[in-house]
Amino acid sequence: MINISEPNKEQKIVPLWRQAFRPFFLFACLFSIFSMVTWALVQAGELYFMPYGGVTFWHAHEMLFGFVAAIIVGFLLTAVQSWTGLRATHGKPLIILFTLWLLARVCMLLDIFSMQWITALIDISFLLLAAFFMAKLVLKVKQYRNLIFVPILLLLATANLFTHLSVMTGEIHFYTQGIYSTVMIITLIMTVVAGRVFPMFTANGTQTKKVDNLAWLEKSVISVTAIALLIHFFGLQQIISSKLTVLLFIFCSLGHSIRAIRWRPQVTFNTPLVWSLHLAYWFIPISFLLFALHYAGLNISTSNALHGLTAGAMSSLILAMIARISLGHSGRPLTPHWLMKYAFSLIILAGGIRLLSPYIQLYFNFNLHVVSACLWALAFGIYVVVYAPSLTTPRPDGKPG
């Protein structure tokens, strides 16, 4: 490991700006709680407002690019320090990156600029700058294996451009292409990261033997998930044969299921930091199966399959991952607060309700989408309350970061 920081210089940096995970995990979660509560009020008919692109656009865009993208950037710009041994983005560069993210959120919410391209430029620049910071470190040590995340960030920026084009041109297909592409890009990120860390986290957390990944299975799952991404990125759903599309998503679902079973979820029941990861991951094969059934002609909307990946997989996997990362990278023992097991349960329940709501809503006299949103906000609220002190104070071991 390279000596990545001088102790005297480190102590002069406000703890919040010492690592990317600190501001982005904390404020992305705070923003997501605000966004989800706002959406719940809209769904309940208690609130009306007109943000950039309209309220439905704002909800979809901001949960992906305001919340999820910020978590991804916080994770990658923290992990790259462990991967390269070089001091990752911190101090003034991190403040600039965070300010860019925050400014984009304000612009989207208040629809400040009459020239919409200004809002789009600010928003897209956040991902471009993050990609630059990461590429700079990876290329410096020639660690090309981890360079994969740079083009992924650039793909996210491009998908974000599609969504903004839908606002500027009024062409709805740009919105669909942008949102669906983004969900598939993030699913690909989850797929790659899960393969790298799940076996290790499971073995370490349960004190059992690590399951070695099967190279052919990993390559196959990543490949079919990437193909699903490319189909949506280039808008090929209407061109490709529906039978071929059904087969693709069935293979996706099967591959992810086999992978998840091999990781032995049954040994994790007494370890919240691990069982939360495994349960979150199962939303991916379930969602891909829903996509397959949709393209097979069944009465299942792509929107519902998509929410399986967003409200289900992304949300619950993010909560499980940041709960672990926030402890490890702040120098705390990997022993979560007792409240977190309830947060993990709430986010899984929220995703499950959102996934099932189209099929069971008729049996309830209240809006299940509102229930799901409230449970979701409560889960991340627990995270903020529990982890804010760790994210805003120095590491107890005195190490940088």
Give the phi and the psi of residue 50 in degrees, each rounded to 5. -125, 90
> For the chain, what are the domain ranges?
16-170, 172-369
pLDDT value for 8:
67
Separation CA 147–CA 134 (nearest Å): 8
DSSP string, 83-138: HH-S--S-HHHHHHHHHHHHHHHHHHHHT--SSHHHHHHHHHHHHHHHHHHHHHHH
pLDDT value for 1:
41
Separation CA 64–CA 186 (nearest Å): 9
Separation CA 376–CA 63 (nearest Å): 12
Separation CA 368–CA 347 (nearest Å): 14
pLDDT value for 237:
81
Task: Give the relative orientation of helices 21-43 and 69-84 as an angle to the nearest 10 degrees.
Answer: 160
Give me the residue label for tokens 């979560």. 336
- Classify burial at 364, counting beta carbons within 10 Å of its beta carbon; exposed 0-12, middle 13-18, buried 19 or more: exposed
How large is the greatest C-alpha to C-alpha distance in the chain, in angstroms?
64
**pLDDT tens, N- to C-terminus, the chain (401 residues):** 444 555 667 778 899 999 999 999 999 999 999 999 999 999 999 999 999 999 999 999 999 999 999 999 999 999 999 888 898 899 999 999 999 999 999 999 999 888 999 999 999 999 999 999 999 999 998 888 888 899 999 999 999 999 999 999 999 999 999 999 999 999 999 999 999 999 999 999 999 999 999 999 999 999 999 999 999 888 888 888 889 999 999 999 999 999 999 999 999 999 999 999 999 999 999 999 999 999 999 999 999 999 999 999 999 999 999 999 999 989 898 888 999 999 999 999 999 999 999 999 999 988 999 999 999 999 999 999 999 999 999 988 877 77
Separation CA 258–CA 252 (nearest Å): 10
**Cβ–Cβ contacts within 10 Å for residue 222, how many?**
16
CB contact at 8 A, 39 and 59: yes
Amino acid at 323: A
- In 233-251, which positions are buried (b, 16+ CB within 10 angstroms) versus exposed (e)? beeeeeeeeeeebbebbbb
Separation CA 74–CA 139 (nearest Å): 19
- Classify burial at 298, counting beta carbons within 10 Å of its beta carbon; exposed 0-12, middle 13-18, buried 19 or more: exposed
pLDDT value for 2:
44
CB contact at 8 A, 331 and 5: no
CA dihedral 160, 162, 168, 169 (to 10 degrees): -170
Residue 398: both structure tokens together: 């005195």
pTM passes above 0.75: yes
pLDDT value for 65:
97
In a 3-state reduction of DSSP, which class is residue 330?
A: coil
pLDDT value for 301:
92
